[in-house]
Structure 1
């Protein structure tokens, strides 16, 4: 009677050793993967990195998208490799080279923003024609001055956009900003009449009204967690007591 042929003892020991080694390796892999996951959970706060609310997250995602777009433009080829590489580079830049948090407050109203753009285009051409006429007209140069205007804009980001709007219009240039009192000191190229001064203040009131309507209506605006983060840089110096030593 012939006995069936089975695996040799040597092959059985090798197979058992490999199976045991695979189980031990899998256990080590699962252990260290779990430890890495716990470390990432405790030290890498993804939601905090993106922002504290939806507006902060939108700004961070927009920044990543813009940096990715620039990265793809630099390579000159649209491909998944370049897009994923751009996202990775953008995340590394925002992590290793973080910029100060910009308070994002209120909501964007595209209709009013479009109206702002159209008014900016109109003011640009009208003011360019006026400045060109002042340059070629006969007579003495126009009388220039620095005028002060207060704007009821609460957000520093929106205030920056308003200042950029004013600076883009020929004939006006913001030379100083009083951050705490929301005062703008604007150089006006022509203040030869009271009408020019009234027109300037009417323009500033219109810009203030449109920016408030476009970005920070009272019913929708609420302070960001980073609102006023730079106020300590704008606090006035303490006044010394009267009669004290001022040396």
Structure 2
């Protein structure tokens, strides 16, 4: 079955963010932001996407820069806060920090969103993804600094907050409804 030039162009446009991400990742790995690093990153991105023929990831086609910025700012705040909390727990010889494995049921059924939430949760000091159940949309996290059921609920709420902010930044209208946020122009926010 032959695809028209318009369909091929549309598919390439949808994959453009991944090419840009692969090139940026290449440049970050080499620690160089030069034309040569860009060109070798482009070659690497083309090679990776052509050699490892993974199915194309379907993006929502929606990007909200404001909520993207909100996500980045709150993520950076959480990283600093988590670093300080872990440092305080390590330096306090009187008490051992409590630890637990918690399960967080995500509300969206999207592999890309689940991956973003898992990576975000793992990058916050004090929590680490130990397993992801894709079929049931459950992330299992090892968390430290928990002493009560309220602390466990706060950890779950934090992960669901990551999911909500990610969906607000890049999710589809259906995903916005799944996380309890009405799409723009339709009721409450």
Q: Same fold (TM over 0.5)?
A: yes
2:99 counterpart residue number? 144
Q: Retained in 2: the 8 A contact 1:150–1:182? A: yes
The 2-side partners of 1:132 and 1:78 are apart by: 40
The 2-side partners of 1:88 and 1:158 are apart by: 27
2:138 is aligned with 1:172:
no
The 2-side partners of 1:167 and 1:112 are apart by: 21
Flag structure 1 segments of 5+ consecutive residues without an equivalent. 1-41, 222-247
2:68 is aligned with 1:113:
yes
Alpha-carbon offset, residue 66 of structure 1: 6.0
Q: What is the Cα-based RMSD across aligned positions, in Å?
A: 3.6
2:90 is aligned with 1:153:
no
2:57 counterpart residue number? 103
1:240 counterpart residue number? none
1:181 counterpart residue number? 136
Q: Retained in 1: the 8 A contact 2:117–2:159? A: no
Alpha-carbon offset, residue 110 of structure 1: 1.5
Q: Retained in 2: the 8 A contact 1:143–1:189? A: yes
Q: Retained in 1: the 8 A contact 2:131–2:140? A: yes
Rg larger in structure: 1
**Structure 1 pair 102/189, CA: closer, same or farther in 2 (3 Å)?**
farther
In the alignment, which of 193, 204, 208 is matched to residue 159 of structure 2? Answer: 204
2:145 counterpart residue number? 190
**Structure 1 pair 179/133, CA: closer, same or farther in 2 (3 Å)?**
same
TM-score where L is the length of structure 2: 0.72
